[in-house]
Structure 1
């Protein structure tokens, strides 16, 4: 069963190797599939912008999104160390060894996470970002699971930069910066939908992703339409309500 689901996941990521894919959607899928298939409870991805600074790109839960933002604001944590070193970084018990990242460790434990593994998002020697895998229980992540997670992260990295083969050496930076700009619009749209529908922001995000998939549109395009209150997305919440009833 695991082997079949892993195969499906690799095919899903490989399908991004076409023009026009949505980087943010890709990375959210990466987080969700890692939680689904591996022995982890949550995941988050940070990407480097044009200045080389890490920025939040995706998270499996709203709680992890806030924790990743705290890591960035405090400039301390496993994803930052992983990105700068280019190698995997892990802590099997944040309560036992808090001296590595004292403030991040305390924040992670407050969120119910005891162990973390950070994996580089990279293409050969080029570092694009890093992915955090969180666990509620103490203990090192199984080595096989780490290898699978790294392989998934590597495929996602290839998906991000694949168009370089068409001769645009600056494309990596452009794609990543475009994705990070889209992230800002998506956060705005989540807030608009949450307020409009009086729902949780995580539910608002799920509504947008579902709408984007059902209508074969980029998540970033749907988010912009929501922020601009475009007529074509006016019934998004009511459509979701009908499908849930």
Structure 2
């Protein structure tokens, strides 16, 4: 890819995400789009976004694939891995070849290899002197990030901070409420994704894409659609019919 084309794609992604911040956006949907853009711009296989709760426990908020989702969750369960380390130290962790770090994270490296990943890059998400989470990138090929790549990742991490803290000034004393809101939203979306997957017999990735497509086509927040699906039995049948129609249109 030429430098001019890459610059155009990066600027286009930044403008699109900032436009979303200036509108009535859904934080879970926006963070999902942000991880997707990050993976595309850096030409890596997958990306994931971890956010800490007020007790400094990390939670998965967005992932571009089920493989990235599973590996991020494995990091949290095993309490080891580059995203954990990046969050704890507040520094980037850039691993060009995970096979050379088996002693550093034995369980994580084994799980990553099983998932087909060879390299990983994790950057902290920071605001007001506090680390709010970590953005992780996973690729199937060994390789280094260039300085331009690192700048792209850090720029998107800054946008993620703004998305999470949009309604509150970015001070350490005021980040708890928006963090909690984002995490609760992700839990509701995960519940709805699992429900759609089971009811319609589709993979989890497809269930999530259906919910996002439905919410965007109607100008609704993703978390609002998920909440209605899980809590409102009166509107649930109609929503399921609409999601079923989306499946048929794609075939």
Q: TM-score range by the shorter chain?
A: over 0.9
Taking the aligned partners of 1:214 and 1:230, their CA distance within structure 2 comes to 21
Taking the aligned partners of 1:220 and 1:87, their CA distance within structure 2 comes to 31
Q: 1:54 to 1:85 in 2, by over 3 A?
A: same
Q: Work out which of the residue numbers 120, 124, 149 in structure 2 matches 1:120.
A: 124
Following superposition of structure 1 onto structure 2, how do residues 13-28 of structure 1 map, counting pairs within 5 Å? Answer: 13-18=17-22, 20-28=24-32
| Match of residue 244 from structure 1 | 250
Q: Is the 8 A contact 2:128 2:172 kept in 1?
A: no
Show structure 1 runs of 5+ residues with no match: none
1:98 and 2:102 matched: yes
Name the count of aligned residue pairs: 244
Q: 1:168 to 1:145 in 2, by over 3 A?
A: closer
**RMSD of Structure 2 on Structure 1 (CA):** 1.9
Following superposition of structure 1 onto structure 2, how do residues 8-47 of structure 1 map, counting pairs within 5 Å? Answer: 8-18=12-22, 20-47=24-51
Taking the aligned partners of 1:143 and 1:178, their CA distance within structure 2 comes to 34
Q: Work out which of the residue numbers 221, 229, 240 in structure 2 matches 1:218.
A: 221
The two structures have a TM-score, normalised by structure 2, of 0.91
1:164 and 2:162 matched: no
Q: Is the 8 A contact 1:115 1:138 kept in 2?
A: yes
Taking the aligned partners of 1:213 and 1:171, their CA distance within structure 2 comes to 30
Partner SS state of residue 168, structure 2: helix
The two structures have a TM-score, normalised by structure 1, of 0.93
Shift of residue 116 of structure 1? 0.5
| Match of residue 177 from structure 1 | 180
| Match of residue 133 from structure 2 | 129
Q: Is the 8 A contact 1:13 1:156 kept in 2?
A: no
Show structure 2 runs of 5+ residues with no match: none
Following superposition of structure 1 onto structure 2, how do residues 79-90 of structure 1 map, counting pairs within 5 Å? Answer: 79-90=83-94
| Match of residue 207 from structure 2 | 204
